[in-house]
């Protein structure tokens, strides 16, 4: 079965510091990978998605970036954090390829709570 991991679980960082959040998927190959952000009490905002190694699409221009150095690894980074970067960051995966929509259900990791002070 497939599992998705995220770390760290929680993070408190000062404004202007760098950020690196990691997401890894097990039990599948060539997954589609996604980074979402959820502000307190709000819905999910898609930040980045990737359909393959080195292939990153950005949905929202901001000071965050994403990379996919390996097939099942997705990293969210920032060189200098802003207060507005605080939130709950969720990584998700789905099967790749043009298959039925049901098969492309997105499955989420446990998330990382980021507080920028």
Partner 1 sequence: AQKITQTQPGMFVQEKEAVTLDCTYDTSDPSYGLFWYKQPSSGEMIFLIYQGSYDQQNATEGRYSLNFQKARKSANLVISASQLGDSAMYFCAMRDRFRFGNEKLTFGTGTRLTIIP
Under the rule (CB under 8 A), what is the footprint of partner 1? 32, 34, 42-44, 46, 49, 51, 59, 88, 90, 92, 94, 98, 100-102, 104-111, 113
Q: Report yes or no: 89 and 74 within 8 Å, Cβ to Cβ.
A: no
Closest CB 65 distance from partner 1, rounded Å: 18
Whether the bond between 8 and the residue before it is cis, its omega within 30 degrees of 0, is: yes
Closest CB 84 distance from partner 1, rounded Å: 19
Closest CA to 62 of 41, 83, 42: 83
Output 81 or 90, the one with its CB closest to partner 1: 90
Output 15 or 103, the one with its CB closest to partner 1: 103
Output 11 or 51, the one with its CB closest to partner 1: 51
HEC profile for 13-81?
ECCCCCEEEEEEEECCCCCEEEEEEECCCCCEEEEEEEEECCEEEECCCCCEEEEEEECCEEEEEECCC
Output 14 or 97, the one with its CB closest to partner 1: 97
Closest CB 89 distance from partner 1, rounded Å: 10
């Amino acid at each position: 079965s497939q599992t998705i991991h995220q770390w760290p679980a929680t993070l408190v960082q000062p404004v202007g510091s760098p950020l690196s959040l990691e997401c890894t998927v097990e039990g599948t190959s060539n997954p589609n990978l996604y980074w979402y952000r959820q502000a307190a009490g709000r819905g999910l905002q898609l930040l980045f998605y990737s359909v393959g190694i080195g292939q990153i699409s950005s949905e929202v221009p901001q000071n965050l970036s994403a990379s996919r150095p390996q097939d099942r690894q997705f990293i969210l980074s920032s060189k200098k954090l802003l207060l507005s970067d605080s939130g709950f960051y969720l990584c998700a995966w789905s099967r790749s390829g043009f298959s039925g929509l049901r098969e492309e259900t997105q499955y989420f990791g446990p998330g990382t709570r980021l507080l920028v002070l």
